[in-house]
Structure 1
Amino acid sequence: MSDQIKFIVDSLNKEPFRKNYNLITFDSLEPMQLLQVLSDVLAEIDPKQLVDLREEMPEQTAKRMLSLLGILKYKPSGNATDMSTFRQGLVIGSKPVIYPVLHWLLQRTNELKKRAYLARFLIKLEVPSEFLQDETVADTNKQDISAMEEEKDQLIKRVEHLKKRVETAQNYQWMLKIARQLRVEKEREEYLAQQKQEQKNQLFYAVQRLQRVQNQLKSMRQAAADAKPESLMKRLEEEIKFNLYMVTEKFPKELENKKKELHFLQKVVSEPAMGHSDLLELESKINEINTEINQLIEKKMMRNEPIEGKLSLYRQQASIISRKKEAKAEELQEAKEKLASLEREASLKRNQTREFDGTEVLKGDEFKRYVSKLRSKSTVFKKKHQIIAELKAEFGLLQRTEELLKQRHENIQQQLQTMEEKKGISGYSYTQEELERVSALKSEVDEMKGRTLDDMSEMVKKLNSLVSEKKSALASVIKELRQLRQKCQELTQECDEKKSQYDSCAAGLESNRSKLEQEVRRLREECLQEESRYHYTNCMIKNLEVQLRRATDEMKAYISSDQQEKRKAIREQYTKNIAEQENLGKKLREKQKVVRESHGPNMKQAKMWRDLQQLMECKKQCFLKQQSQTSIGQVIQEGGEDRLIL
């Protein structure tokens, strides 16, 4: 189940959905939100399913989704009782029902798009009776029905043919029984697999719930162990103040604003549709009221009432403070929600790390010490790594020069040996080199003995001078570094403030954008509804025009004095068809009477013919038998004559 949810979340985060879910946020969705996600996926397959579930009844939602899933050939595993539970789960937004549907849809989205597109051309349409009065529509409908009946007859014949082929096989009934048992066992296996999967899901959810509760218990124990009564009381007082502010000030204001907005929208909906003249009248009224307001403001400014001015100043300050207070309350609420989500993610990560290596996660000062230690080790590692890289590069160069020098030395030695062989003094250069090497080693040892102390004293002096030079050179750099560190802290603080402002502004813009998107979606849906209504009314008008034209033609033909025109009337045609059918029925009844009267004699005659056929068949068999006996006697007689001749 976890793999299934992971696949669903990954698919929803990609194009074209871009939901930005993770496993926790997706699993914590409400049933209505989960149904909306399913509706969005179905809308990607079939654009007609693009509906906001808040504006649709639950029965219509279930009917719409079940009809589309039936067209897409989705088969939930289980029997008839499970089908009823599937429908109920789809209505209430049950996770064990919707998760497999989402997994199945997201696995084969492109294939299902083709199937949904072709379904509109393959499903039989319910044609209203008023449209069937048209001859072309009625003919096409009859042709479709006749074609479907032919296909049904072909299928019945094919089934009967297969039954006949199977009935000739040996152990037909036994094999049929075994096949029926196999089908029952397969259905039972699927049912048991589904039950097993459901139990696994329940176990997974129970383990997650247990882990969350254990983490909450652990955090509460830690908070209770670390906290003091004074800090707890202070925290509780702050929470009480915040909750009181939210309950007494913020929520009532929001509720009042929503009520006003709802009242205004109801008022707008209840009013009749406005035309261009009404809009012009309203604009003129608005302009008049604005001019009156400006005049009143000018009069008030000319009076120069100081008390009122001071009060307006205080009012402005109070409104600014209240707005700031509301903004801070919203920020605090968002911060609490963010903190809760981060704590959930941290607990999840902590559990994952505990599962991986079985160790606890470091906290607080331990983590800081670990990070500082890791940084010092990383700097040392980088330095050593750089030194090793430099030494490797230098070693490569020296190795290459050594190879070149060895090659040159070998060439020179070969030339020298050839020259010595020509002069007749082979081996002279080797002995000369050995003597020079021994003398050089002796002189080097003597010099090293005398220079060791002098070199050591000079090296100490050089090191001291280098240390003092480095200190003097780094003093200015250290001062600049301190200033830069202070500046870096100021910039980081400013960056954090700007980031918080940006986040709050982005959240506001995002909420406005979502509201505008909802409004645009609603207007598009209204436009589509009006377009469909327009097309429907046009079709009805055309249908009524056709009926009216037919009625006028019928009246003209019926009233006309010309007999040819009267014969063209539908009434005359129908009366003529009725008379023909009545004559045909009369003839068929007479024919039926004749058949009934001659049925008895005909059956007797047929029986006599069958008896005659049996008698002739018996005579034929007797004749053939007599023929075979006479031929055998002739053969025996001919054999006796042959023996007599011999």
Structure 2
Amino acid sequence: MSEQLKLIVEQLNKDPFRKNFNLITFDSLEPMQLLQILNDVLAEVDPKHAIDIREEMPEQTAKRMCALLGMLKYKPPGNQSDLSGFRQGLVVGSKPAVHPILHWLLQRVPELKKRAYLARFLVKLDVPAEFLADDVIGDTYHQYEELVEGFKTNHKECEQLRTSGFSTAEIRRDIGAMEEEKGPLIKRVERLKKRVESVSNHQQMLEQARQLRVEKKREEHLAHQKQEQKNQLFQAQQRLQRLQQQLKDMRHAAADASPDSLMKRLEEEIKINSYMVSEKLPKELEVLKRTVQYLQKVASEPAMGHGDLLELRDKIKGVDMQINHLIEKKMMRSDPIDDKLTLYRQQASIIIRKKEAKAEELQEAREELAAAERELTHRTSQALASNGEEVVRGDELKRLVVKLRSKGTVYKKKRQEIAELKAEYGVLQRTEEILKQRHEAVQEKLQTMEAEKGISGYSNTQEELERVSAIKSELDEKKGRTLDDMSEMVKQLNSMIVEKKSALAPIIKELRSLRQQCQVLNQEHEEKKSQYESCGAGLESNRSKLEQEVKALREETAQEENRYHYINSKSEITEMQIQRAAEEMKAYVSSDVQERKRAIREVYMKNIAEQELLGKKLREKQKMVRESHSANMEQMKMWQDLEQLMECKRQCFIKVQNEASVGQVIQEGGEDRLVL
């Protein structure tokens, strides 16, 4: 575990994370911080996951991370079937769940980046078969599959070009070097043409050379075909050996197989298949049917608003309360017989879960085996269709790798020799140019001297005469002289190189010794550094342990002090109670009447007697109230009726008075009119 944490901290401190952690700070991270670091690492693998986990629900975070880890083919350590516990650990950010994921991710970040990039284009969409029956959807899906296959081929070609070893800079340098070599070669070809034209029957010689070149190419082609046939023969022999070994293994397996073992295997397979057919698959089918019915029901219902959701939450809370109440009732009414059977029920449920988990593992293993067999047959058929040969495996692949490595080393040596020859050729070409410049300078100086002496053109005339008289010998000896000069120059250059090497030899020896010392010092530095880091980590861990122990001891001291004060206060209270009890006993036993009356027992007895007397009076009063309750209620009803009657009379009297006042006013108004 410590090595795992060291690797995680070391990788997180590097680019592109730069977290600046040590073992103590990383181990003391909160669950949310640990989940955020895991999310940052996943975001480095796939940029779509670069979000803040505080902005989404924990279940959504765990679901998103599980989906990406499943796509990256991460397998949790330990019990593979306990996926619910793994998801729960991701939700709460527990260290046993997050640390192995970080250790696995940080070891292979470039590979996982490539896998996440390819998954965006290679993970096919899951389209139901009933939808593919439509012509438009079927054609579109077929076109989609063709595009995916095209992407696969293009990506393979791109990877082959990347790993082929060629680079644009090297190609440009080679092109530049070839263009520089092109000019001298053209001049050389022209000179050779002029030489050849002066030779008799040069056309026949050129034809013979062309035929020789064609025959050499044919010989190379035949040698290549011979080598290919040898390779095919070797591959056929290897295939024959493998088939013979397979036949031998099958015969050996058939010889070891007895009827009893075969029957046992068949019985086990029948039991497994019967369990799958009779128990596991019907349960899964029933669960899927219920899920489909539930989804259909949800899809058929109208859209729900915020109020509907609140109402459903209230209902869920009410149902949960009822369930808890029923569970409590069941626990209160638990039967001892049921308690005895609980252990067996738990064991049976554990066995059933283990059985289902093993069945799921078996099903997954069968599916993986079938997929691997299909992929093997597909790749074998592709290889046979493309090359017409068997796929190279095992020892053949190792031999081919060793052979390719040896050829690679030979190729590098040859390439280095070619580079040295090119450099030497460049030096010689530069020497030739310098000599030509010197010759031209000497000729110009000679012409000026002839002009000063008054015999200009003498050297040219003499050269023409010598050229006319000795043209044949000059043509015969020109090549020899040139080769002698060049060989002499090469000897001089070699002697200069030997002198430089001899001068550089002691310096190289010193440099070698210094390099060895540097390597030794680097090794010592690495060892001291590792010792320092391990010692520092040990001291940090010891310091953290001591801090934890001091903290625990301080907490324990505080608890003991609290306990001490609590016990002291309890003892004081107890002493006071004992003292009061002694005083009470003393007062109760005393012969003095006044002191006996001050005893608590007497006071309480007096209070009890007074309260009993008061209760007796209240009960009598209650009895009287009960007896007169009906008569009092009737009397109260009569008073209420009387009150209503008096109110009615008052209203009638007010009404009569109002009517009389209105009539009087009308009468007074009529009299006034008569007077007018």
TM-score (norm 2): 0.30
TM-score (norm 1): 0.31
